[in-house]
Amino acid sequence: MMSVAARSGALAPYLHSTKHAVKSLVKPGAKDLAPAAAPGGIRLAHTDIKIPDFTDYRRPEVTDPSKSSQDSSDARRSFSYLFTGATTVVGVYAAKTVVTQFLSSMSATADVLALSQIEIKLSEIPEGKNMTFKWRGKPLFVRHRTEKEIAAEEGVNISELRDPQHDKDRVINPKWMVVLGVCTHLGCVPIASAGDFGGYYCPCHGSHYDASGRIRKGPAPLNLEVPYYVFSDEDTLLVG
């Protein structure tokens, strides 16, 4: 084991520093009480720290300490405005590009656009019958109405209807009734040539439509929607 003398010798520098520190507290200002040398583990002043030089990042107008920064404030302010304006223009253009790309990703795909219009041969639909087609992912009802159905629908008192519309306002040619097969209640698909009025019937919640696609009974609030369509010729119907 290390002797007491050896331990005292090893601790001598620290004991010496402690002694002088105590004396400096008792008799402040005594020159002879200052330690001649501090131990290696104690740093008395941060003289080895280098202060970074930011001269390369400063504007030339403010590097000279003998000149007032107020003299160059206008020039520096103009540069700041120019830089801010250029950054704003770039930011707006980038935002426009992002929005354009986002909206483009939400637009209809090529296969959907190809089905945006449908051409129907009317000679394939017998009188008094209804045929169902798929258009834009929805069922499309095309009905070849008889003279009796036309007369019955034109004679309906529109003041008694929930969604008042005259039959003439829903057709281009009275013989052809074109509506979307989507119930206006909850989007179910009605059954053609069914219901209390011989038009369309939705079995989901009991909505009854007449042969003009108008709601006559049940919870549906509106008539069946009539899409945009034209007659290319006497035998061709173009929907969309």
Q: Where are the domains of the chain?
A: 54-107, 115-239
CATH superfamily of 54-107: Ubiquinol cytochrome reductase, transmembrane domain (1.20.5.270)
Higher per-residue pLDDT: 103 or 236: 236
Q: Is the pLDDT of residue 160 over 50?
A: yes
Higher per-residue pLDDT: 199 or 7: 199
Q: How confident is the model at residue 207 (pLDDT cuts 50, 70, 90)?
A: very high
Residues involved in catalysis:
205
For the chain, give the longest Cα–Cα distance. 130
pLDDT, one tens digit per residue, over 85-102 is: 899 999 999 999 998 888
Q: Give the separation between CA 51 and CA 108, rounded to whole angstroms.
A: 61
One of 2.102.10.10, 1.10.40.50, 3.40.50.2020, 3.30.2130.30 is the CATH number of 115-239, namely 2.102.10.10
pLDDT at 225: 95
Beta strands in 145-223 (DSSP E): 176-180, 191-192, 200-202, 207-209, 215-217
Q: Give the separation between CA 19 and CA 27, rounded to whole angstroms.
A: 12
pLDDT at 115: 64
pTM of the model: 0.53
Q: Is the pLDDT of residue 81 over 70?
A: yes
CATH topology identical between 54-107 and 115-239: no
